[in-house]
Amino acid sequence: MLSAPITMKKFGLYMVDSDAQKAAMTLAQMAVIHPLEDIEDKLPLADFPAAPYFEVYHNLNSRFGKIAGFIDRPFDGEVETMDIVTLQQLRDLDEELKLLWSQVSDIEEQLRRQNEKLNVIRQLSSSLEKFASLDLDLSRLRRQSQFLIIDVGTVPSANFSQLKQALSLAHFMIKSFYTGDGIQHVVVFGASQTHEDVLELLKSADFRGLSIPEEFSGSPSELKVDMQKHQRQVNDEIVELNQRLAELLSENRPRLKMVHDLLIGAKPYASLANVLKGRGGLVFLQGWIPAQCEHEIRSRLEQDLQFPFHIECSAPEIEEFDAVPSLLKKSWLLQPFQNLVKNFGMPGYREVDPSALFALSYILMFGMMFGDIGHGGVILLASLLLYRRYPAFSIVGSLAGISSTGFGFIYGSIFGYEEIIPALWMSPMHDPPRVLLVAVVWGAGFLLIANLLAIRNYLATAQYQQAFYSSKGMAGMIFYLAALYAGYQVFTQGAVGWF
């Protein structure tokens, strides 16, 4: 039931540089290699032959991603990639997309400016609504003369009446032209000689001045018509720019589809820029592969590569175990639980894959906690109905429903009623002490199994000192068993003793 991750081997491939791209594509299609960046090789291979290729690929992919962000329909359908995507092809396409991106970015910049204009118009229109009741040229509110002072601002509605009376004593007038949210928008005007005294009154009434936008020149009704006209013009320009952008992208869509496909074909070789090393005409690639795939890789490379090559495969040394990637064995039944295990961490190379144990304990514990024939049946039925849409959830739910139903028979419980059928073992409602005892035994057994797995993992990775003397090793397990035995004696005999 328990197994270790798939056995891995260190893979080394020596080849001619003209075959490097084809080898990268073959290995990428097989999806069986985990490349190694820190290569310790016998030969002095200090060059990175794929570095120029990666630089051009990165620039092209970046430009394509920017342009693709303006495309509504993704590039679906079968990918038509060439066997080999040359560096010159990428450079030519990069120059094409550079020109196309300049056209797209120019339209996008114009759209940005027009949208900013539209936002300004909307903000001005919103502000203009507050001045709609004033039948005068709003630009006059910005002008100050030698004899007449005009202040525009807001004052709380609760202070308006008192402020109006106080201003009348100072020979100033106040007019409210808009009310909203407990705030009065007002115009205050009077002789300039007493303006300093009036400012103190306004301050005490929590008056807050408003600036009249420079665009407000004319009556509110005239300004509203002008703004609506301007807004229509800006909207028309935005529509025209969007249409130009759509036509430009539509004209170039076949070419962009080709770039999309070529980028997919170029990605395998470009992704190896930091791991491919070479000198002269020799290139070396190193990584980890599943041991079971060695013969398949060799046969595929013999079929695809034009020139002779050399492969070296070796089992990892003990000191390399920490660097070896873990590849879990796939199982349709355990796949949902493996995803849960990965949330806590991946088991190291040659360590036990706890997915099966996790699945068993999860299902049994769920059944123990929610043991009921009726509720378990509902969970099972609902999970089966959701299989097509949520297959992983359906598997977990179905197993949990079966476990809940099984424990329902053990408890004799149907939708919470424990008097309809007899319990096969115990009734939790009528025998709580036994339920508590089972929970303690289950927890102790689970910790003991975890301790045994830790010892096994230490031995498998040659960590013998930890296996025997650590808290998770033999010493810790002996101490734990002694504590369990002492607890058992206290529970059964009332004291701890040897016999």
Query: What CA–CA distance (Å, rounded) separates 427 from 408?
Result: 10
Q: Which fold has domain 1-42+276-327?
A: Alpha-Beta Plaits (3.30.70)
CA distance 450 to 354: 9
Same fold, 1-42+276-327 and 136-218: yes
pLDDT of the residue at 44: 57
Mean residue pLDDT of the chain comes to: 87
pLDDT at 194: 79
* Spatial separation of the C-alpha atoms in residues 332 and 37, rounded to whole Å: 33
Residue carrying the six token digits 């594509």:
25
Q: What is the pLDDT of residues 150-167, one digit of tens each?
A: 889 999 998 898 888 888
Query: Which has the closest alpha carbon to 275: 24, 22, 19, 85?
Result: 24
497 — pLDDT class (breaks 50, 70, 90): low
Distances (CA, A) of 31 to 27, 201, 257, 296: 6, 80, 24, 12
pLDDT at 268 over 60: yes
Q: What is the pLDDT of residue 355?
A: 85
Q: What is the pTM of this model?
A: 0.67
Spans of all domains in the chain: 1-42+276-327, 136-218, 335-493
Alpha-carbon distance of 250 to 100, in angstroms, equals 12
Q: What percent of the chain has pLDDT over 70?
A: 95
| pLDDT score of 10 | 92
Indicate the fold that domain 136-218 takes in CATH: Alpha-Beta Plaits (3.30.70)
